[in-house]
């Protein structure tokens, strides 16, 4: 979990992750890496990640558990990703560590944008 300061620089209230972000106010929230991507996708949000621990230390006690990368996406997160612009979609799949096959499936169930699907299906050279 990361501690994040989210500032809504827009003129409208925005509700993300079950939290209402009022205009021109800063709010501190605890969020996973995936939730951070959802917040970064909002054009009116300025995101500042607050480091919790000094470099080299681990909050999980060194037992190898709770790495945060093996979570599955919720339906709400999938809808957020599907509604993103192509550039934000690419950033989100990179941030989440989603494979190309899964990204293609997400897009085919969402907006079905041909240009994005062709780009995802093209082999990396």
**What is the rounded average pLDDT for all residues in the chain?**
77
Quote the pLDDT of residue 69: 44
Quote the pLDDT of residue 68: 42
Which SS3 state, helix, strand or coil, does residue 89 take? helix
Quote the pLDDT of residue 64: 43
- Express each pLDDT in 46-63 by its tens digit: 888 887 665 555 444 444
DSSP 104-117: HHHHHHTT--HHHH
CA 36 to mean position of chain CA atoms:
5
Residue pair 40/11 in contact by the 8 Å Cβ criterion: no
Percent of the chain with pLDDT over 70: 81
pTM across the whole model: 0.42
Report DSSP state, residue 42: S
pLDDT score of 101 more than 70: yes
Quote the pLDDT of residue 100: 84
The pLDDT-based confidence of 110 (bands split at 50, 70, 90) is confident
The pLDDT-based confidence of 95 (bands split at 50, 70, 90) is confident
CA 85 to mean position of chain CA atoms:
13
């Amino acid at each position: 979990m990361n501690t994040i300061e989210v500032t809504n620089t827009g003129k409208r209230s925005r509700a993300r992750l079950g939290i209402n972000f009022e205009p021109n106010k800063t709010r501190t929230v605890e969020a996973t890496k995936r939730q951070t991507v959802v917040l970064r996708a909002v054009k009116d949000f300025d995101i500042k990640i607050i480091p919790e621990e000094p470099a080299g230390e681990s909050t999980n006690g060194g037992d190898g558990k709770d790495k945060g990368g093996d979570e599955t996406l919720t339906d709400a997160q999938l809808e957020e990703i599907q509604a993103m612009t192509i550039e934000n979609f690419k950033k989100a799949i990179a941030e989440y560590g989603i494979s190309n096959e899964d990204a293609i499936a997400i897009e085919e169930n969402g907006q079905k944008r041909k240009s994005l699907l062709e780009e995802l299906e093209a082999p990396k050279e």
